[in-house]
């Protein structure tokens, strides 16, 4: 049963619509489905929202520590609300998937993603659910760092947001602990 959804990204308007902020962008779409709002929480090193999905309470977290230090924020929320690692879903950008491809994965390594690396280091566990949001790879010889920190084009942004809708309808399954069913539904789309 998922109790905490963490969107990975970098804080500030400069990064708001960058590829690296795919996690923040999905949380922005998720919060629009309810009546919650994000509020800065210094004790959690991030912005936190609490919303209801059906009868279940769900916490949404946007760490404001920058991507590479997200673990501090995640572990602070987990400790305060007594959330276990298997109750956490981390949403992050994925270079290895084409734009808009969404895949759920349970556990595993960081795959070179510094946000995941820091969460694993801070919590001492790899046993969390991830939603990997495809952003594609840069064309030609463009540096990966430059690519992930660049804004989506308007069309790419609209495509990504439209793909988020197919995931958001699966949230009740995840909140009820039906991870396998949610994976099957998402991966067969």
pLDDT band at 33 (very low <50, low <70, confident <90, very high): confident
Structure tokens at 32: 């629009």
pLDDT at 35 (0 to 100): 81
Q: What pLDDT digit, counting tens, does each position of 69-101 carry? A: 999 999 999 999 999 999 999 999 999 999 999
20 has catalytic annotation: yes
Query: What is the fold of 4-187?
Result: Rossmann fold (3.40.50)
Residue that the structure tokens 């109750």 belong to: 87
Helix ranges, the chain (H): 22-31, 70-81, 114-123, 144-148, 154-168, 171-175, 179-187
Q: Please give the share of the chain, as a percent, with pLDDT higher than 90.
A: 81
Checking if the pLDDT of 148 tops 90, the result is: yes
**pLDDT (average), residues 122-138:** 96
Answer whether 17's CB lies under 8 Å from 48's CB: no
Distances (CA, A) of 61 to 9, 24, 142, 143, 186: 11, 9, 31, 29, 22
Q: Please give the share of the chain, as a percent, with pLDDT higher than 70.
A: 100
Looking at per-residue pLDDT, the higher value among 165 and 54 belongs to 165
- DSSP state at residue 151: B
Instruction: Give dist(CA 131, CA 189) in Å, integer.
Output: 15
20, 92, 110, 113: the active-site residue: 20
Question: How many other C-beta atoms lie within 10 A of the C-beta of residue 109?
Answer: 10
**pLDDT (average), residues 18-34:** 93
pLDDT at 143 (0 to 100): 93
């Amino acid at each position: 049963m998922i109790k905490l959804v963490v969107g990975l990204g970098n804080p500030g308007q400069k990064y708001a619509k960058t590829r690296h902020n795919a996690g923040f962008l999905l949380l922005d779409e998720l919060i629009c489905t309810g009546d919650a709002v994000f509020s800065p929480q210094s004790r959690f090193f991030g912005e936190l929202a609490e919303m209801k999905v059906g009868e279940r309470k769900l916490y949404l977290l946007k760490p404001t520590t920058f991507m590479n230090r997200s673990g501090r924020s995640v572990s602070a929320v987990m400790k305060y609300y007594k959330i276990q690692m298997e109750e956490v879903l981390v949403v992050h950008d994925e270079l290895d998937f084409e734009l808009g491809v969404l895949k759920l994965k349970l556990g595993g390594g960081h795959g070179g993603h510094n946000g995941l690396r820091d969460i694993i280091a801070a919590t001492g566990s790899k046993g969390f659910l991830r939603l990997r949001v495809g952003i594609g790879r840069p064309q030609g010889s463009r540096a990966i760092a430059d690519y992930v920190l660049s804004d989506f084009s308007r069309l790419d942004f609209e495509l990504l947001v439209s793909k988020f809708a197919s995931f958001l309808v699966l949230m009740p399954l995840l909140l009820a602990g039906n991870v396998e069913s949610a994976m099957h539904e998402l991966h067969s789309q």
